[in-house]
Amino acid sequence: PLWFDEYKPSDISSYRLDFFHNLYRKATRGALEVRGNADKTTDEYKIEAPVVVSGEQSIQGPAERRRSVMTQFRTETTDAGTETAEAYKNLVGKARVDGGELELGSDAPDPAEHALAYYRFVTGFDENRLRRLWYDSLEHAHARADALGVVDELDDLEMQGLQTVVFGFTLYHEFAEHVGADTESLPTEEDLNDALEYVVERIGPAGKRKSHTDRFIELFERAVVAGYLEQGQHYEIVHECTPREQVRINLPRSFDAISKYAKDHDIRSEDLLNAHSDYRDRFRELAEQPGSFVKCTDQYTAGVSQCTGISTLGAMNDLEGFDRASLGVGPIEGDEEVVALVTTDDESDTEGNGDEYEQTTVRVKRALQDDPLTMSELCEQTGCEEKPVRDALSTIQGETYLDVRKAESDGETRYYIP
């Protein structure tokens, strides 16, 4: 494998970083890279070696992260006296203090010899059996992802990352048996499943990712609140206070201001792309997708020129870190017909009394953020039966909704809080 250390994007020029990321993505699919020569001929190289990247900062780009198995080592593992530090010293033959006496590991194995032995083992493996192990690893990865409830959240590249972890685990156990090592001291299948769960969580909570465009819109709202962006210069509101409301963002102007906000507030985890044009291309793709909160791109808007149009209501529904109220707009008008919290399939449930229940939603007339309601008030407004259980409040399109159940019993309809 090729190991690239000292990965720190903040210290790397944009050109070199883009070039590295391009090759990094190609390495995951065995793509070709063409290089020109002084005599105007070209050479083609097929990128096949696996890649390891380490450094102070982690890879943030969604395209690169989808192709990676992300892990982060805890700094305390190298602290003097810890079990892991002692094990490492013993492995590589470094001196260590034991009971006040200095011990030298003169017969410690050479890691290079271990690597050579492993490579010989792998390259000498029966190809058909190796393929079977690879596909068996995919089945294990699918089963674990299904058990974690994230199988539908992961794309093919991310699933391949889990498959690779299982495959490596399997081969290492095979190698241990091949050389007659103590397999009892190796990681167990329980450890493997814990590792897969860890990799999933590194993708995002419950395997869900936040894209570059999602981060950008959330940072946009925070920069507006902090005074880094001005209406009429960086953005404008159109169709204000209606269900069609949009914030029109001038990307070139806003990108510079948002970058300054991120730098001033030491926001490192919120990955920003290198230029506004990178976002423009992504927003164009989103604008073509049904149901996207991106409604238009390159749209002329008075006062702010060519803009990207973002549905404020759609962004509120899709993004946890966006609130249209932060843009200084009032409540949505003319949406009295909106009664559903979300579109769901009807489902039946049976309580202990045998009543059949149909899932539905009931609108609450007052906005929670402006006029908080107690559970009793909510029940009074909706005709629900108050129960000492969790509520299910959500703020959608500037209004608060309560998810309730409708009970049909003895020909009478009543509502209750699930």
pLDDT tens-digit profile of 353-367?
A: 333 333 334 444 433
d(CA 315, CA 293): 6
pLDDT of residue 33: 81
Three-state DSSP class for 33?
strand
Closest CA to 180 of 117, 231, 237, 124: 117
Amino acid at 259: S
> Mean of the pLDDT values across residues 137-155?
89
Q: Which two tokens stand for residue 195?
A: 């590792």
Per residue in 25-60, pLDDT (tens digit) is: 888 777 778 888 888 888 888 888 889 999 877 776
Distance CA 60, CA 271 (A): 6
pLDDT in tens, 250-277: 999 999 999 888 877 766 444 567 788 8
Q: How many helices (H) and strands (E) does the chain have?
A: 12, 16
Whether the per-residue pLDDT at 238 is higher than 70: the answer is yes
Under the banding of pLDDT at 50, 70 and 90, the label for residue 193 is very high
Q: What is the pTM of this model?
A: 0.51
Domain boundaries, the chain: 2-61, 110-207, 212-327, 348-416
**Backbone dihedral angles phi then psi of residue 311, each to the nearest 5 degrees:** -70, 120
Please tell me the predicted confidence (pLDDT) of residue 294.
92
Helix (H) or strand (E) holding 280: helix 276-287
Distance, CA of 134 to CA of 360 (rounded, Å) = 46
pLDDT at residue 108, rounded to an integer: 65
Q: Contacts from 46-52 at CB under 8 Å and sequence distance 24+?
A: 47/23, 49/1, 49/2, 50/1, 50/2, 51/1, 51/2, 51/3, 51/4, 51/24, 51/27, 52/1, 52/2, 52/3, 52/4
Q: DSSP secondary-structure letter at 299?
A: E
